[in-house]
A and B are shown apart, each in its own frame.
Chain A
Amino acid sequence: MRKFLFTCLLVGLSIGLNAQYSNINISIAGLTCSQCSKSVEMQLKKLKFVTHVNMDLKATTANITTRNQVDFYALAKAVSNAGFSVKNITAMLHLEKMVAQNEQCYLYQDNSFWILKAPTSKLITVQFIGKAFGNSASNKDYSICQASNQYIVMPL
């Protein structure tokens, strides 16, 4: 039993230590009741890469814990499928665990991140930019930073 628990602890720690994203926070617009918040939580929990959802009913935000393969567009779509809108999505990016294409473009698995201001550290908190994330996308072309899911982010 002790060996089993120790193994679980090691696996858990290793997942945490290897995480490319942490502190993923979704701020949701239009929520007016606890049943509404529950609907959003249930839609988020359906996503395979989501391991835990912590809803703050007062602030109408959702703090998400995930596995490594995160689809931020799917997070926004889950909020939309519940009948509400994303106000913003923020996350902490662990850049040292990603592949740097240049000083502003970082890649991990299916995701690419174009960071609008060159980061000054390898651990940054960013806000996602784009219509899906509750704000206007920049008109510039960031196709040099390519992947299946392309994100534009602004360091906070």
Chain B
Amino acid sequence: MPSIQPIYRNAFIGFFLVTITSYILKAQELYPLTEPASTLPKNVLGIRIFSENYRDKPYIRTMQGLRFMYGITKNWTLYTTSIFSNHHGEKFPLEFPFHNTPERGVKYPYKYNGQHFYTKYRLLSIDKKNEHFRIALYGEGTIVKTTHHESEPNLLMGDNSGIGGGTIITYLKNKWAISGTAGYIKSFGITNITPDPIPALPDIPIRVEYGDAYTFSLSGGYLLFPREYESYDQTNINLYIELTGKRFGAGSVDMFKGTDLEYRLLDSNYPDAFRKGFFIDISPSIQAIIKSNLRIDASLTLPLLGITYAKQYPLITLGMQYYFYL
């Protein structure tokens, strides 16, 4: 467990960076990693390709999302994302979760994991001169078949199936803009197999349940260029700092699932990666918007409080997005 003083120091630094950045500098809310309360304009089709990468020696773990977005009404937006990655094996590792969890340095196939669905409804929008305040509700769900090793659930990156929802609040006044999200993930388990320690014996069916999670984020942005908007052709350069965090429960593993030998593994022996946890990451980002449409983002994610075992730091996330006005 980290000592108390660094925890509060790190948390203060992170919060300070987000708020002071947004307050002093000209605000932007087109966050690379989190969603603002604003929705897509009506009848706009958006396409986003994004990629999350980190080093897992000697390999690079990579995940790609291909997202289609549509503004059904001015208040209601739908997304669907196809998720591809080399994060997960076809079956659970030997002696899961006691031996080598999370499993590092193992080659996994790059494959289609499944589909993520997201909907956002803007409940409230108050627009004034140089000010707007918005509240939105969101819901999400993921259907994947992946042997995720850690108790921490993650829907967007396709680690496990589940549903979630929450609230987004975005407030902008003059040069100050801030956006926050609070949500919940209800994870679904997976029934798969793990090799028997005795090679001659058949694989063992197991049922893995993941923790549920409270999720939260706080984001601020800064318009670096241009100093004044004059034309759509001006390239916008934006800088962002985002805090993303999660508090999640422990997982559970049932061995010989569906047979007479079925039993639940004692959680007192679980490794840290399969226990309940809490972390906050900090992500500085840079973004270019070309001809007021094509968005290109690059983010670096580092630990601020605690760590996630589901990934390794630093994470590099790249994104590209374009709107079609139908």
What is the interface of chain A, defined by CB distance below 8 A to chain B? 29-30, 32-35, 37-39, 42-43, 46, 55, 57-58, 80-85, 87
Least CB separation from A34: chain B residue? B292
Please tell me if B100 contacts chain A, counting CB pairs below 8 Å: no
Q: Specify which of B74, B125, B128, B234 lies most central, judged by the most chain A CB atoms within 10 Å of its CB.
A: B74
| Residue B260 is within 8 A (CB to CB) of chain A in the complex | no
Interface flag for B269 (CB, 8 Å): no
CB distance from A46 to the nearest CB of B (A): 8
Which residue of A is nearest B129, CB measured?
Answer: A29
The answer to whether A83 and B232 touch across the interface, beta carbons within 8 angstroms, is no
List 25 A-B residue pairs with CB atoms under 8 Å apart, sorted by A's residue number: A30-B125, A30-B127, A30-B131, A32-B28, A34-B229, A34-B234, A34-B292, A35-B289, A35-B323, A37-B232, A37-B292, A39-B323, A42-B325, A43-B42, A46-B325, A57-B231, A58-B229, A58-B230, A81-B74, A82-B41, A83-B38, A83-B39, A83-B122, A87-B127, A87-B129
Q: Spell out B's residues near A (CB within 8 Å).
A: 27-30, 38-44, 73-74, 122, 125, 127-129, 131-132, 172, 177, 223, 228-232, 234, 236, 289, 292-293, 295, 323, 325
Q: How far, in Å, is B280 (CB) from chain A's closest CB?
A: 27
Known: A34-B236, A55-B232, A85-B127. 15 other contacts (CB 8 A): A30-B125, A30-B128, A30-B132, A34-B232, A35-B30, A35-B289, A35-B295, A35-B323, A39-B41, A42-B325, A43-B41, A57-B232, A58-B228, A85-B125, A87-B127
A75 CB → nearest B CB, Å = 15
Residue in chain A with minimal CB distance to B236:
A34
In the assembled complex, which residues on chain A have CB atoms less than 8 Å from the CB atom of B232? 34, 37-38, 55, 57
Bound CA–CA A46/B230 (angstroms):
23
List the A side residues contacting B42 at CB < 8 Å.
Answer: 43, 81-82
Complex alpha-carbon distance, A38 and B30, angstroms:
15
Contact B127 A84 (CB under 8 A): yes
CB distance from A52 to the nearest CB of B (A): 15
Distance in angstroms between the alpha carbons of A85 and B29 in the assembled complex: 17
A39 to B295 alpha-carbon distance, docked (Å): 14
Tell me the smallest distance from the CB of A47 to a CB of chain B, in Å. 13
Chain B hits for A83, CB < 8 A? 38-41, 74, 122, 125
Which chain B residues border A42 with CB–CB below 8 Å? 41, 44, 325
A17→B191 CA distance, assembly (Å): 75
> Is the CB–CB distance between B293 and A33 below 8 Å?
no
CB proximity of B305 to chain A, nearest CB, Å: 30
Provide the bound-state CA to CA distance between A84 and B125, in Å. 8
B288 smallest CB distance to A (angstroms): 12
CB-nearest residue of chain A to B229: A57
Whole-angstrom distance from the CB of B191 to the nearest CB of chain A? 43
Most chain-B CB neighbours within 10 Å: which of A32, A33, A37, A58? A32
Q: A residues within 8 A CB of B44? A: 39, 42
B293 near A32: Cβ-Cβ < 8 Å: no
Pick the residue among B43, B74, B295, B325 that contacts A80 (CB under 8 A). Answer: B74
Residue of B nearest to A78 (CB): B42
Q: Who on chain B is nearest to A43 by CB? A: B41
B76 to chain A, nearest CB (A): 11
